[in-house]
């Protein structure tokens, strides 16, 4: 897994990332693995080195905040809008050293990539863990990835104690955006005044899943980007598993992003 791409993106596409497992990594967004029901968190390099050397680590058991996702996610929204709504409600330290437990009670169930986006950004709320209760979506993703059903689904006890419970009615969501200078400075996109932009960036840490790239391509198809705007698209990995259709894809990763002036997403590529 060395030199394969963004580590937490690569991690969730590896069979070692299993529901019920304990995972630590030298990247704060290691919490992304919580989207498959893993207990995952980031640590500093010294702590990770200690874990590699001894096979052990030290963690304080966090209190839990239960987040119940209800309703139906509008087609104009994604998992990123859900987690930004939580940031608006709780702020950057609203889940400080807590475990955010996400229960998907929505009408149609969230796509796995939406779950990845939510778990990925749990750290922006200060959370130690961001864990989805595993269900049939988890099982389908792991089976498509591993050709095997996960052996261990860990679910909350019937008498589990929560610090608080938050219900999010996704039906009422609108597209969200975080304004400078805080990821918690969230407003609805329709509340923004027209603001000129010179650079748009897609990819990297939390928005470089295949579904993100496809959504962007669909949005700009048949249009031209303003010549005064630089649109950089940076893929998350050189090759990877697509949860959209249960297959592996192979791409070429851009050295420093790409400048787009065409009707569809095009990039200057090089092999990693």
Per-residue pLDDT tens for 204-261? 777 778 888 888 888 888 988 888 999 888 765 554 444 444 444 444 433 333 333 2
Position 174 pLDDT exceeds 70: yes
Same domain, 103 and 236: no
- 185 in a domain, yes or no? no
Total count of residues recorded for the chain? 272
Give the mean model confidence (pLDDT) for residues 135-153. Answer: 94
- 17 in a domain, yes or no? yes
- How would residue 1 be classed by pLDDT, with cut points 50, 70 and 90? low
Give the mean model confidence (pLDDT) for residues 151-171. Answer: 94
Q: Which of 37-51, 119-133, 145-159, 225-239 has the lowest mean pLDDT?
A: 225-239
For residue 225, what pLDDT is reported?
84
Same domain, 154 and 56: yes
Model confidence pLDDT, tens digit, residues 3-30? 677 788 888 999 999 999 999 998 899 9
- 51 in a domain, yes or no? yes
For residue 9, what pLDDT is reported?
85
- 184 in a domain, yes or no? no
Same domain, 87 and 49: yes
CA distance 161 to 257: 46
For residue 202, what pLDDT is reported?
84
Concatenating the DSSP letter of every residue in the chain gives: -TTSB-HHHHHTTSTT--TT-EEEESSGGGGGGGGGT-EEEE--HHHHHHHHHHS----PPPPEEEEEEES---TT--HHHHHHHHHHHH-TTTTTTPEEEEEE--SS---HHHHHHHHHGGGGGT-SEEEEPP-HHHHHHHHHHHSS--S------TT---SEEEEEEGGG---EEEPTT-TT-EEEGGGPPP---SEEEEETTTS-SHHHHHHHHHHHTT----TT-EEEEE-SBSEEEETTTTEEEE----SS-----SSS--------
- 110 in a domain, yes or no? yes
Same domain, 16 and 42: yes
CA distance 54 to 164: 36
Domain that holds residue 251: 196-272
Tell me the pairing of strands 176-178 and 186-188.
antiparallel
For residue 60, what pLDDT is reported?
93
For residue 2, what pLDDT is reported?
66
For residue 237, what pLDDT is reported?
54
Model confidence pLDDT, tens digit, residues 77-134? 999 999 999 999 999 999 999 999 999 999 999 999 999 999 999 999 999 999 999 9
Tell me the pairing of strands 22-25 and 129-132.
unpaired
- How would residue 42 be classed by pLDDT, with cut points 50, 70 and 90? very high
Same domain, 166 and 53: yes
Same domain, 169 and 258: no
Q: What is the mean pLDDT of the chain?
A: 85
- 261 in a domain, yes or no? yes
Same domain, 35 and 168: yes
For residue 236, what pLDDT is reported?
59
Same domain, 168 and 204: no
For residue 208, what pLDDT is reported?
73
Position 272 pLDDT exceeds 90: no
Same domain, 93 and 172: yes
Pair 224, 263: CB distance under 8 Å: yes
- 187 in a domain, yes or no? no
- 191 in a domain, yes or no? no
For residue 235, what pLDDT is reported?
67
Half-sphere exposure of 85 (CA within 13 A, CB side): 20
Q: Which of 179, 205, 222 is the last residue of a domain?
A: 179
Same domain, 50 and 15: yes
Give the mean model confidence (pLDDT) for residues 157-177. Answer: 96
- Cα four-point dihedral sign 128, 134, 138, 139: positive
Domain count along the chain: 2
Higher pLDDT, 76 or 202: 76
Higher pLDDT, 56 or 266: 56
Q: What is the CATH number of the domain that holds 112?
A: 3.30.499.10
Same domain, 159 and 217: no
Same domain, 56 and 158: yes
Q: Which of 151, 179, 207 is the last residue of a domain?
A: 179
């Amino acid at each position: 897994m060395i030199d394969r791409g963004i580590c937490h993106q690569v991690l969730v596409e590896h069979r070692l990332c299993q529901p019920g497992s304990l995972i630590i990594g030298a990247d704060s967004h290691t919490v992304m693995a919580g989207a498959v029901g893993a207990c995952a968190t980031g640590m500093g390099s010294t702590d990770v080195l200690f874990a590699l050397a001894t096979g052990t680590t030290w963690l304080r058991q966090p209190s839990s905040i239960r987040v119940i996702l209800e309703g139906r996610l509008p087609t104009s929204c994604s998992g990123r809008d859900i987690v930004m709504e939580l940031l608006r409600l709780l702020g950057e330290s609203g889940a400080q050293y807590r475990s955010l437990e996400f229960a998907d009670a929505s009408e149609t169930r969230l796509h796995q990539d939406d779950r990845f986006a939510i778990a990925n950004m749990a750290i922006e709320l200060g959370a130690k863990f961001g864990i989805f209760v595993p269900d049939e979506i988890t099982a389908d993703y792991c089976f498509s990835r591993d050709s095997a059903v996960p052996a261990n689904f860990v679910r909350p006890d019937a008498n589990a104690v929560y610090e608080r419970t938050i219900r999010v009615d996704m039906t009422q969501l609108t597209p969200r955006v975080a304004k400078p200078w805080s990821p918690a400075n969230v407003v609805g996109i329709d509340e923004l005044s027209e603001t000129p932009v010179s650079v748009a960036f897609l990819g990297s840490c939390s928005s470089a899943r295949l579904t993100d790239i496809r959504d962007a391509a669909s949005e700009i198809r048949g249009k031209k980007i303003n010549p005064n705007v630089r649109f950089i698209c940076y893929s998350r990995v050189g090759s990877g598993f697509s949860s959209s259709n249960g297959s592996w894809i192979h791409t070429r990763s851009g050295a420093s992003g790409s400048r787009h002036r065409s009707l569809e997403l095009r990039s200057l590529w090089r092999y990693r």
